[in-house]
Chain A
Amino acid sequence: MPKIRAGLLVSAIVVAFALASGSFRGAGAEETPSTAQGLAAWGQVYSVLTHPRCINCHTATDYPQQGDDRRRHVANVVRGPEGKGVPGLNCAGCHQETNADSTGVPGGHNWHLAPLEMRWQDINDRPLSSAAVCRQLTDRSRNHNLDGPGLLKHHEEEPLVKWAWSPGRRPDGTMRTLPPMSHDEFVAATRRWVEAGTPCPK
C-alpha cells in the first residue's frame, strides 16, 4: 500500500480510535503527529525492541540469547522447525507458564522464538539498524500481515511482549533489567508512530 494512502487510512482509524476510546491527550491530540514526531517515536520503539528482554528472542540464528550480555543460551538449545525447540529440548520444557524466581528461569505462556521474519539481528548477533528493523516491522509480507493498529495491538496485548516488563529474577536473585521505558510509554510511542504513518528512517 502506497505510503500516503496508508497514512490517511491510519490517521482516520486513529481518530476514530481516539474518539471511541475517549482518550484525549490534550492539545495536539487530534492532530496527526508529524513525520518528524513519528520518527522520534519510532526511535523510542526501536530502543525497546533492541533491549535484551526483547531482542534475545528475535535472533537471526538457530539459537536464542540470554542475559544482558546477550550470550548464546545455555545447553545448545535450538530454534526447531516452529521456533519452539526440538524434541527433548522444547522451550516450554523449561520455561513454564510463569517466571520461576526461586530457580531464576523466566516463564510465560507459549514461550518460543520469534519467527525468522522478525529477526532484529544479523547472523553475527549484531542488532540491525533502526532503518532495517523499521522496514521489517512495516513490511506486511513479512510481519504476518499486521497493519499499524495490528502492530499497536501486538505491543499492547501480546503476553510475551508484556513479559519484558515483569521478567522475573535471575538465578542470583537479582531482578532482570527492564526495557528503557515503561510498557505504557512503549505503547504510547507505538501509537504516535502508527498515527504518523509508521515512518521509517532512511
Chain B
Amino acid sequence: MATYQINVNGQQREVNVHPSTPLLWVLREDLKMTGTKYGCGISACGACTVHLGGIATRSCIVPISHVGDRPIVTIEGISQDVVGRAVQEAWVEEDVVQCGYCQSGQIMSAVALLKHTPKPTEKNIEESMGGNLCRCGTYPRIRAAIKSAAMQVTKGGA
C-alpha cells in the first residue's frame, strides 16, 4: 500500500492503495465516484474514460502509480467545463441515452474531440468516438448530439 496525492476535478485528494491499482478503481471504490464505469478492464470499450493531464485516458489501464500530479477530470466534474456542459446538454436534448452505462465515457471522449476540433466532420466523429462501445447502439444519436454540441459551443464563442 502507498499513499498518493491526486488532483480530481480540481480538488486535492489523498488515497491509500496498492500502487498497481488502476485509477478507475481508485476513483470508484476509494473516492466513491462511480460515474466512471468498468466495462471491460482492457481499454477496449472506453466506459472508463477520464481526462488525465487534459488527455482522454482509459482509467482502467493506468495504475495509480503512473498518475502523478497530472489533474484528473471525471464525468462528475466535466460540467465545470463549458464544452463539457454543452455536450451534456446536447446529450439530454437529443435523448441519446438508453441504458446509459457507456455514456460517461462517450461524453468524456466527445468533450476531448470538441475541445480539439470544434467543427468535427463525420469522419472526425467516427475516428475519435471509434473506440467507445455502446451495446444498446445509440451511435446515430451520439453523432447528432456531437454536431448539436459543436454548434452550441461555436455560438457561445467558447
Contacts and interface: CB of A to CB of B under 8 A. Distances in A.
State yes or no: do A and B touch (Cβ within 8 Å). yes
Interface of A: 74-78, 80, 86-90, 92-94, 96-98, 100-105, 107, 171
Contacts of A107: 66
Given A80-B127, A103-B41, 6 more contacts: A76-B131, A78-B127, A78-B130, A89-B131, A94-B57, A100-B62
B43 A74 contact: yes
Given A96-B62, A96-B66, A89 B128 contact: yes
A109 B44 CA distance: 22
A197 to B, nearest CB: 43
Contact of A88 (B19, B45, B63, B109): B109
Contacts of B20: 101-103
Given A87-B117, A88-B113, A93-B56, A100 B63 contact: yes
A113 to B, nearest CB: 14
B115 interface: yes
A129 to B, nearest CB: 31
A49 to B, nearest CB: 27
Contacts of A87: 56, 112-113, 115-117, 128
B55 interface: yes
A160 B60 CA distance: 24
A90 B55 contact: yes
A192 to B, nearest CB: 39
Interface string B57-91: 11011110010000000000000000000000000
Contacts of B124: 86
Contacts of A80: 127
A75 B130 contact: yes
B57 A100 contact: no
Nearest to B110: A88
B55 A93 contact: yes
